[in-house]
Amino acid sequence: MQISPSVLNADLSGLADEVRRVEAAADWIHLDVMDNHFVPNLTFGLPVVESLLRQITIPADCHLMIDDPDRWAPGFAEAGAGSVTFHVEAARKPRMVARDIRAAGARAGVAIKPGTPFSEVADLMPLVDMILVMTVEPGFGGQSFMAEMLPKVREARRLADASDVDVWIQVDGGVGPDTIEQCAAAGADVFVAGSAVYRSPDPAMMVEQLRASAENAARP
Ligand code: DX5
Ligand code: ZN
């Protein structure tokens, strides 16, 4: 059970300091890259991620909500991100993107928006290290969790277990103390939490609390 806090709703003027608040407790730091094309919002790109990576020790989990990941995704891996996730809806050649990310030394993840069925990525399962099932429409933090996405998480978990591939299943969007247990019970094992962590008075403690809840819920 791994927790990947998203800095989307943190103080972006002091990104490295915000990461340091959770660095000891979290497994990853989730960096939401948005281009105002694939999603209607704009955050930061490769130069900011590169600079940040020089300042932090926790591995970066880059979530690319951008068009043309075929062109851009490998650069994030080359910059030293531990994991790079692209959206299948945006990729021209998803297999090639996954291969290029891995070749550049990162774990490769593939994400699906709420409207995209799991079947769109089922074939990619042996080629990626993580499937990200979005539990909100990508673009903004602080939205409500979409429980109707849980069947996709179960489907991903079933297929991963049946095919014996070691693929992580991540959920992102509206994940917090009230929703993390259903995600873990459905089979997710990497949890992105933005506002739940950064709006908490003690972000590091919230990370620990979320991990404990996930572990409890996943126990058979
Ligand atoms: C939404 C982003 C998420 C977002 C999650 O498009 O991909 O990572 O930061 O924020 P919360 O946890 O507030 O939904
Ligand atoms: Zn994200």
Per-residue pLDDT of the chain (220 residues; tens, 9 = 90+): 999 999 999 999 999 999 999 999 999 999 999 999 999 999 999 999 999 999 999 999 999 999 999 999 999 999 999 999 999 999 999 999 999 999 999 999 999 999 999 999 999 999 999 999 999 999 999 999 999 999 999 999 999 999 888 999 999 999 999 999 999 999 999 999 999 999 999 999 999 999 999 999 997 6
Active site residue 35: no
Say which of 32, 61, 100, 129 is annotated catalytic.
32
The pick from 140, 171, 179 for probing ligand 1's pocket by mutation, whose C-beta has the most ligand atoms within 8 angstroms, reads: 140
Taking only the tens place, the pLDDT of each residue in 3-19 is: 999 999 999 999 999 99
Q: Which residue has the tokens 């094992």?
A: 189
| Residue 68, Cβ density class (10 Å: 0-12 exposed, 13-18 middle, ≥19 buried) | middle
Q: Which atom of ligand 1 is nearest to the CA of 39?
A: 6
Work out the mean pLDDT of the chain and round it to a whole number: 97
Domains of the chain, CATH where assigned: 2-218 (3.20.20.70)
- Residue nearest ligand 1's atom 6 by CA: 138
pLDDT score of 165: 87
Ligand 1: which of 32, 36, 130, 199 to mutate, most ligand atoms within 8 Å of CB?
A: 32
For residue 162, the model assigns a pLDDT of 92
pLDDT recorded at residue 149: 98
Contacts of residue 164, defined as CB under 8 A and 6 or more positions apart, other chains included, come to none
Nearest atom of ligand 1 to the alpha carbon of 145:
14
Pairing relation of β-strands 60-65 and 107-112?
unpaired
Q: Which ligand is nearest to the CA of 143?
A: 1
Q: What is the pLDDT of residues 32-68, one digit of tens each?
A: 999 999 999 999 999 999 999 999 999 999 999 999 9
Question: Is the separation of the CB atoms in 207 and 180 below 8 Å?
Answer: no
Sheet of strand 2-5, all strands in order from the earlier edge strand to the far edge: 2-5, 190-193, 168-172, 130-134, 107-112, 83-87, 60-65, 29-34
The one catalytic residue among 27, 67, 129, 172: 172
In the residue annotation, 68 being an active-site residue is answered as no
Cβ < 6 A, ligand 1 pocket: 6, 8-9, 30, 32, 63, 136, 138-143, 172-175, 192-196
Q: Is residue 169 a contact partner of residue 156, using CB atoms and an 8 Å limit?
A: yes
**pTM of the complete model:** 0.98
Ligand 1 mean position to 138 CA, how many Å?
7
Q: What does the pLDDT read at residue 220? A: 66
